[in-house]
Structure formats: structure tokens, C-alpha cells
A and B are shown apart, each in its own frame.
Chain A
Amino acid sequence: MDRFPHMARPFRMSIPPTRTTLIGEFQSSGADDVSDAVSAAAEAWKTWRLTPAPKRAEILYRTGEILSQRKEQHAQEMTREMGKVLSETRGDVQEAIDTAYYMAGEGRRLFGQTTPSELKSKFAMSIRMPVGVVGMIAPWNFPMAIPSWKLFPALVCGNTCVIKPAEDTPLSTFNLVQALIDAGLPPGVVNIVTGYGPDAGAPIVSHPGIRAISFTGSSEVGRIVGQTAAANFKPLLARDGRQERHDRPRRRQPRSCPRRSRLGSLRHHRPALQPPPAASSCTRRSRQSSPRGWSPAPTPSR
């Protein structure tokens, strides 16, 4: 990660909803910062892609260990940063730890295929190759888990990264990348660009030096990202908006079913924010189908 050479346009992050306690001051990045980040990532890719995958994976193993040691600290900072309750933010950090160990294991797999050939004395195989510099745009609701889903597989496969966290949650991405650096990630392999979508996100999607885009966010922004990526022949991983549906069959309900369904709907809320984007997990239940005449059990007081 390169620290930004020109900290000229900071934006301030404060605790919702009072906005009186400062979380931190981050660069409000623009196209020039993205360009610097891509240059650093492109330079780092020359050696990172040649680093053996098991060696790249060792850094991810160490990252998982470091995150485990710092889990409580990162969870508390995440709660301050974006308002999820501690049990949720601990789970969020744990997801990054799990992803680190899982993707570290891929460092000794990343299997290709060998196949027979139609011709005599000919050998045929397919090999997984890194894509190059990958651009990533992450949302605020899982501010460490989702960046880990993007960064760790990209890294073990030999890519270098330019990542823009949501403007609401830059700190958790900094914490994640700091763990990578402390685990031995070489300079330039991951580059954070903080700031707002139109200023810092759009240049990532359109930059010719970025070979693929991984985006999580709204369908509205996802459509724009997709159009821009398509115009530049960039592979796009887009996880956009959704509505989850629960269908409740008529017979034999498990006793805890209503409570479990509510768990999917109302957990992960952010009570501190106004207006409240309550229940802002991407897989939260928002619709439920029930047989006519069915009535829910009384709501437990917890």
C-alpha cells in the first residue's frame, strides 16, 4: 500500500449520528490518485505474479493470524466506524480471518487441467494465470469481510489491487490492508484509494491499466460500472442489489422459525444512522410468503 503522496483533499469521518467524535481523516481521492495507485500496482505486478503461489499464500496465512490477534480491536473500531453491534463486527472480522485461511490454502492448489490431445506427440494443458491489476469497489455494510473476499483470492492468484472502500468505512479497509503489510505484503501490491464513488470509484472502472473489476454495491451504480467495464472489455464481478424472499410452507413449522426469519431481516441494523438504512445486510430477508391464515408467534422480547 502506498501512502498517498498528495494528501491535499482530506475528508473527515466521524461517528454517526452525533458526528462529534472523529474516526479519522482520509484522502478524498481523485483520478490522479487512482492513476498513481494503478502505476504502483502495475510495477508491483511484475514481481508479484512471479512470486510462487505457495509463497503468496504464506502472507495470507500470516494475515489471518494477525487479524485473529487484532480481532477485538478491529471489531470495536468497526462498530465505532459504521454502527453495527459488536457481535456483528466480530463476525465481520472473523469472516476476513476465515477467508485468509481458505485462500491461503489455494496457494498450494490453483489447479489447472491436463488433457489428452487429438494429435500424436502433443501435450495439452490449461493453467490459471493472474489477470493483472484488479480494481475493487466495496460497500460499507461488511467493511472488512467484503474487501477480504475481493483482495485475498486476487492476491493468491498473483494479481495486484487497487481498492476503494465505501466513503463511510475507510478505516476497516485500512486495518485489513495493514494486516497484509505487517504479514509481509510487498509495497504496491495493494493500494487503497479512499473517497467518493464519482471521484475515486469511476476512474478505477475506466482506467486502461486495470484489467478486471470487482464491484459490490447498488444495482444503480452496478449498471454504470458494468457499462463502463464492458466498453473496455474488462471482466466484471458485480454483486448488486437484491431482495431476499422467504417462503414458508404450510405444514410442520419448526418452533423457532419466526424468530429465525426475523434474524435474517432485522439483524445488522445500524440504529445510529439517520436516515436509518435498517437491516442493511445484502442477504437480509425483505419478503416472506406465508400460507393464508397463518399468524406469527408472539415476538420474543429479546
Chain B
Amino acid sequence: MRIAQEEVFGPVVSLITCESFDEALEIANGIPYGLSTALYSRDVNKAFRAIRDLEAGITYINAPTIGAEVHLPFGGVKQTGNGHREGGTGALDFYTTWKSAYIDYSDKLQRAQIDLGE
């Protein structure tokens, strides 16, 4: 169903019936994108399974798929992006580059990664 596979920038929602929770997960994951997902349930087991198994960068339980807060990573999987995140520590990861600094103050030759059995 094309309308359930493509991004629709309008007030349209595809309501797809399913027979089971597993099938619902399958339908939700059966798209090339993975930004935001939501599950409405009072069943704590299903809630945690949804968090674990929904292929998306964000999963809401008992809340709509909008409502991300700035202090947690924002972004998705599959064709939603390339793994980087905006927001939270994800943003800091992207906008910084690591510098590893080693200071040898032994005043002698010390061989790293050469194994002389010393």
C-alpha cells in the first residue's frame, strides 16, 4: 500500500488492521524508514517489547509520535538517516571530534604495542 510506505506531508493517517501484536510490529517495521513510533497499551510486557523491537530511533509508549524533548537523541534508522542524531549527547557526538592525548614523561624510550616480554 503506497500511502503506508511513503512520507505524506499532510493530515492523512493510514489505519491498518492487524490480527496480533506481532503482526502490528511487522507492519510498523515494514517500511524503509524508522524515525518515530508509538504504542498505546497498558500491558507493560508489550510496552517493553515495542521499545525493543520497533525499528526506529524513537518509541513512545502511550504518547503520540511527536513530542521529542531536546535532551535525548533525535534521529532514526534505515533511510531516515545515516545514524547520527540531533539533540542530547547525539548532537555533541556529531559536533565534536575526539582527540586522544598521550604524554610520556618517563624520559626514556617506551615501546607501545611491541611485545618484548618485559
Contact = CB atoms under 8 A, between A and B. Distances in A.
B51 A233 contact: no
Interface residues of B, number: 26
A95 B52 CA distance: 33
Contacts of B99: none
Contacts of B115: 75, 87-88, 90-91, 93-94
A115 B72 contact: yes
B82 A234 contact: yes
Interface in B37-59: 51-52
B111 interface: yes
Interface in A56-103: 75, 87-88, 90-95
Contact of A118 (B69, B78, B116): B69
Contacts of B111: 263
Given A122-B63, A233-B81, A92 B108 contact: no
Contacts of B52: 129
Contacts of B82: 229-230, 233-236
Main SS of chain B's interface residues? loop
A267 B114 contact: yes
Contacts of A125: 72
Contacts of B109: 256, 259-260, 263
Interface of A: 75, 87-88, 90-95, 113, 115, 117-118, 122, 124-127, 129, 131, 145, 211-212, 229-230, 233-236, 254-256, 259-260, 263, 267
Question: What 3 A-B pairs have minimum CB-CB distances, sorted nearest first?
Answer: A235-B83, A90-B115, A91-B115
12 contacts: A75-B115, A87-B115, A87-B116, A91-B113, A91-B114, A113-B89, A117-B69, A127-B51, A230-B82, A233-B79, A233-B81, A259-B109
Interface of B: 51-52, 63, 69, 71-73, 77-84, 88-89, 107-109, 111, 113-117
